[in-house]
Chain A
Amino acid sequence: MKLKFRIDTFQLYRTGIAIGIALLLGYIIIFFSKIPSDAASLWEGVRAGFDNANEAFKWFLLGPIVRWRGNEMLFNERGAIQWLNESVPIIITGLAVSIVFSAKQFNIGAEGQLFMGAVAATFVAVHFPAIPVLHPIVVILTAMVTGALWAVVPALMKAKLKASELVSSLMMNYVALYMGLFLIKTFIRDTKAGSLVSLPFAATAQLPFINERYRLHIGIVIAVVSAVVIWWILRRTTWGYQVRLIGDNINFAQYSGIATQSVVFQVQVASGAVAGMAGTLEMIGYYDRFLWLFSPGYGWDGIIIATLARNNPLFVLVAALFFSYIRVGAKIMGRNTDIAPEIVSILQAAIILLVTAEAFLSGLKQRSIEKRARKVEEALTGREVK
Chain B
Amino acid sequence: MSDTLLGIFSWDFIGSVIRVTTPILLAAMGALVANLAGSPNIALEGTMLMSAFIGVIVSGFTQNLWLALFAGVLSGITMSLVLAFFALKMKTDIILAAIALNIFSTGGTIFFLSTLTGDKGSSASVNSLVFPNIDLPLIKDIPVLGEILSGHHIITYVAIVLIFVMQYVLYHTPLGLRIRAVGENPDAAESVGISVNKTRLIALIISGTLTSLGGLFLSMGYVSWFARDMTAGRGFIALAAQALGGVSAFGVALGALLFGFAEALSYSLQFLKVPYEFTQSLPFIITIAVLAFYAYIRLPQNVKRRGAQSGETRNGRLFQRVWEYFSRRAGIRKGVDS
Interface residues of A (CB under 8 A from B): 29, 33, 106, 153, 157, 161-164, 166-168, 170-172, 174-175, 177-179, 181-182, 185-186, 300, 303-304, 307, 339-340, 342-346, 348-350, 352-353, 356-360
Q: Chain B's nearest CB lies how many Å from the CB of A109?
A: 11
Knowing A161-B295, A358-B91 are in contact, say whether A352-B99 is a contact too (CB < 8 A): yes
Contact A303/B111 with A174-B233, A358-B91 known, Cβ cut-off 8 Å? no
B284 and A171 contact, CB distance less than 8 A: yes
Task: Tell me, in angstroms, the Cα distance from A349 to B100 when the chains sit together.
Answer: 4
A-B contacts, 12 listed (Cβ < 8 Å): A157-B292, A168-B288, A175-B284, A340-B115, A343-B107, A345-B104, A346-B104, A348-B107, A349-B100, A349-B103, A357-B91, A357-B92
Whole-angstrom distance between the alpha carbons of A29 and B115 in the complex?
A: 11
Please indicate the chain B residues that have their CB under 8 angstroms from the CB of A106 in the complex.
Answer: 95
Residues of B within 8 A of A358 (CB): 90-92
Bound together, the chains give a CA A185 to CA B277 distance in angstroms of 10
Does B114 sit at the interface, judged by CB under 8 A?
yes
Most chain B CB inside 10 Å of its own CB: which residue of A153, A163, A177: A163
A157:B240 contact, CB within 8 angstroms: no
**Contacts A346-B108, A359-B89 known; A167 to B99 CB distance under 8 Å?**
no
Q: Which of the four size classes fits the interface of chain B?
A: 35 or more
| Bound complex: CA A360 to CA B39 (Å) | 20
List the B side residues contacting A360 at CB < 8 Å: 90
Top 3 closest A-B pairs, CB basis? A345-B107, A163-B295, A349-B104
Chain B, 198-244, CB within 8 A of any chain A CB: 233, 236-237, 239-240, 243
Nearest-CB residue, chain A, relative to B120 = A340
Measured CB to CB, the residues of B under 8 A from A are: 40, 82, 86, 89-93, 95-97, 99-104, 106-108, 110-111, 114-115, 120, 233, 236-237, 239-240, 243, 275, 277-278, 280-281, 284-285, 287-288, 291-292, 294-296, 298-299
Q: Are B96 and A167 in contact (CB under 8 A)?
A: no
B106 in contact with A345 (CB, 8 Å)? yes
CB of B86 within 8 A of CB of A181, answer no
Chain A hits for B100, CB < 8 A: 304, 348-350, 352-353, 356
User: Looking across the interface, which residue of chain B has its beta carbon closest to that of A29?
Assistant: B111
| Chain B residues whose CB sits within 8 angstroms of the CB of A177 once the complex forms | 281
Residues of A with C-beta under 8 A to B285? 171, 175
Residues on the B chain within 8 Å of A172, using CB: 284, 288
Taking a contact as CB atoms under 8 Å apart, the answer to whether B96 and A163 are in contact is no
When chains A and B are docked, how far (Å) is the Cα of A186 from the Cα of B273? Answer: 12
Given contacts A342-B108, A342-B110, contact A162 B299 (CB under 8 A): yes
Shortest CB–CB separation between residue B182 and chain A, in angstroms? 19
Nearest CB of chain B from residue A323's CB, rounded to whole Å = 11
Give the complex CA separation of A31 and B317 in angstroms. Answer: 55
Residue of chain A at shortest CB distance from B104: A349
Establish whether residues A357 and B90, one from each chain, have CB atoms under 8 Å apart when the complex forms: yes
Contacts of B236 in A (CB 8 A): 170, 174
Closest to A348 in B: B103
> Given A161-B299, A303-B99, A353-B92, do A179 and B281 touch, yes or no (CB 8 Å)?
yes
